[in-house]
Amino acid sequence: MKIIKIICIFLISAVLLFPIALWQINLGEIAIKIEKGKNLKEIAELLAQNKIIEDSYGFRILCIQSGKADKLSYGWYKLQFYQNPRKVLSILSKGERMTVCITIPPGLTVVQTLNLLANKTDIDIKSMDSLIHTEDFIHRLGINVNSIEGFLFPDTYILYRSEEPEKVIKKMVFTLFSIIRPDSRLTIDLKEFSAYEILTIASMIEREAMVDREKPIIASVIYNRLKKGMRLQIDATVLYALGYHKARIFYKDLRVDSPYNTYKYRGIPPGPIANPGYQSILAAMHPAKTDYLYYVATGKGDHIFTKTLSAHNKAKFEVKRNW
């Protein structure tokens, strides 16, 4: 008799706890990707195979009756096991896809930016790479040059994990345009510069400066040298011309024949050497007022700025002696 009571208590407990257990199972989530081009039948079968819905045929009927059969968006979704089919339909038809928060640091080239996106998202990088090398697409963005280098503004973005490549590019470019208009012209030291030239100068500042407080000073050195007709002699442009990074530049590297080599050619390079951040663009637009013509890195993240070649050579000697 005692055994029967125990069994009865166990069965009653199981019945009472079953809804709670089922509710806990339903809370389980799964990330699923719906590939672009999948039809309704394929999507329904995918959902059933992953235990998100039980009846793929019933789900298809639901989609058709609701008029949303052709409104299911592709991409990554976070769904629950055995979720209410109507809720699943609502999520897919509204395109409530998974997002990712990604920070693009300043100073990356276009290639480095694409590599970062490839590692952090599921964006079609091949399509994105194709778009940024298509002149017609670049011009439709309002960029009247043949390269998008310098226009992919570094910032923190919230993107769909499988965001459309065109939308990613537009978001980054139009964020830049909120800071500097593509058709704007600025007068600095009585000389007029286009927005593209400002971006190019900002990209050199970005690659040369380690701390924000020095960026307006480095900008002043660039403008001072341009005013005097001096070669800019910026190491970062040589690295861009070489096409790869190296810790130290040798004299043989300075002979690379490229319009980006500011040791060999005078004036501003033909375009940006990286995607500059806000502080570098601000420095290019508002340089400090100095008489500096030279600077040398101390190896500690900052620079020594000088007005004459003799003072510059002395600063270089002091830096080497302290290494």
Residue with tokens 């300075």: 254
| Cα 268 from Cα 204, distance rounded (Å) | 10
d(CA 106, CA 11): 64
Kindly list the structural domains of the chain, giving each domain's residue range(s) and its CATH number in brackets, ordered by start: 23-94 (3.30.1490.480), 99-177 (no CATH), 185-292 (no CATH)
Tokens of 133: 């090398």
| Cβ neighbours for 34, distance < 8 A, ≥ 6 positions apart | 43, 46, 72, 73, 74, 75, 77, 92
Those residues with Cβ within 8 angstroms of residue 183's Cβ, 6 or more apart along the chain or in another chain: 142, 195
User: Torsion angle, CA of 278/284/286/288, rounded to 10 degrees?
Assistant: 120
What type of residue sits at position 109?
Answer: T
25 or 177, higher pLDDT? 177
Residue type for position 140: R
How far is residue 225's CA from residue 307's CA, in Å, rounded to a whole number?
Answer: 11
The token pair at 177 is 């345009």
pLDDT at res. 322: 75
Position 3 scores a pLDDT of: 56
Residue 18: predicted pLDDT: 44
Q: Does the structure show a pLDDT above 90 at 27? A: no
Q: What is the pTM of this model?
A: 0.82
Quick check: 261 and 270 in contact, CB under 8 A? no
101: pLDDT strictly greater than 70: yes
Region 47-59 average pLDDT: 93
- H-helix or E-strand spanning residue 100: strand 99-103
For residues 36 and 14, what is the distance between their CA atoms, to the nearest angstrom? Answer: 44
Count helices and strands in the chain by DSSP H and E runs = 13, 8
| d(C-alpha 62, C-alpha 66), whole Å | 6
Mean pLDDT of 14-25: 42
* Mean per-residue pLDDT of the chain: 89
Q: Which of 150, 53, 71, 80 is nearest to 111 (CA)?
A: 150
- Express each pLDDT in 252-286 by its tens digit: 989 999 999 999 999 999 999 999 999 999 999 99
pLDDT of residue 58: 92
Quick one: which of 181, 147, 130, 177 has its CA closest to 272? 147
Contact 220, 291 (CB under 8 A): no
- Please report, for residues 201, 216, 262, the alpha-carbon distance to residue 207 in angstroms, rounded to integers and kept in the order given: 10, 13, 14
Q: Give the DSSP letter string of 152-177.
A: S---EEEEETT--HHHHHHHHHHHHH
Tens of pLDDT along 148-160? 999 999 999 999 9
Please report which confidence band the pLDDT of residue 310 belongs to, taking 50, 70 and 90 as the band edges: very high
